[in-house]
Amino acid sequence: MQAICDAKGKFLDIYVGYPGSVHDTRVMKNNVFYLTARNPPPGYVMVVGTPASRPPLCLLTPFKEPVIGRVRQLFNYRQSKARSIIERAFGMMKTRWRSTLFRAIEVKPTFAPQVIASCAFLHNVCLDNGNTLDPDEDITRDDLDPHPPQEQMGLNETPGNHIRDTLAAHVSM
C-alpha cells in the first residue's frame, strides 16, 4: 500500500494492489498521483516521503546519508518527523481493523486490495467522527520505520532538490 495522508492521519490518496515485494519506486511510478505530481499545480503543496529515484517536484525527500552540516541534519530530522504521520496513520488503521484485515486476507488473498482500501476508508470515517486512538494504543514499535532504506537515498539530483535546499535553510533558522 502506498498512501498520502494529511497532518491528522486521514488518508487523502491510497494505492493498493502490488505485493510487498515490489520496489517502492515501481509502485510509485505506476500510481496516478505520481503521474500527475510530475507537474504539480501552482501553490505550496508539498508531499513528504521516503526517497525513491526521480521523485516528482512536490515530493520532499531527505538528504543522502551521511548528512554533513547542521542545516541538512535538522532538515532530515524534521522531514522524518513529518513522515512519521503516515506511519502513525498506518498504525491506527492496523490497530482498528487488524482482525478484519488478516481474516479476509487468509480467506481469499485476492481480496486484499479491496479489504485494505475499505479499511482505509473506514479509518477516515472514524477520524471524521472524532474517533481517534491514543498514541500509546495506536501503534507498535514494529509499525515505525524511522530510517528509510539507505540504498534509495539521494540517488539522483531531482528538480525538487532546490525546493528542499531552500526549505532546509528556512527550518534551520
- Give the pLDDT confidence of 84-136 residue by residue, as tens digits: 999 999 999 999 988 887 887 777 778 888 889 999 999 999 999 999 886 55
Cα–Cα distance for residue pair 14/1, rounded to 1 Å: 7
Cα–Cα distance for residue pair 10/88, rounded to 1 Å: 10
**Going by DSSP bridges, is the β-strand pair 59-60/2-5 parallel, antiparallel, or unpaired?**
unpaired
**Predicted structure pTM score:** 0.70
Kindly list the domain boundaries of the chain, sorted by start residue: 2-171
Q: Closest Cα to residue 168, out of 87, 86, 84, 67?
A: 67
Could you tell me the pLDDT band of residue 154, with boundaries at 50, 70 and 90? very low
Give the pLDDT confidence score for residue 170 in this predicted structure. Answer: 73
Q: How many Cα atoms within 13 Å fall on the side-chain side of residue 107?
A: 8
Could you tell me the pLDDT band of residue 64, with boundaries at 50, 70 and 90? confident
Residue 47 in contact with residue 5, Cβ under 8 Å?
A: no
How does the average pLDDT of the chain come out, rounded? Answer: 76
User: Which uninterrupted H or E stretch holds 80?
Assistant: helix 70-107
C-alpha cell at position 38: 510530475
pLDDT of 31 over the 50 cut: yes
Give the pLDDT confidence score for residue 61 in this predicted structure. Answer: 80
C-alpha cell at position 82: 513529518
Helices (H) and strands (E) in the chain, counts: 6, 4
Terminal CA-to-CA distance of the chain, rounded, Å?
36
What's the rounded mean pLDDT across residues 140-152? Answer: 45
Could you tell me the pLDDT band of residue 155, with boundaries at 50, 70 and 90? very low
Of 19-23, 40-44, 46-50, highest mean pLDDT? 19-23
Residue 109 in contact with residue 101, Cβ under 8 Å?
A: no
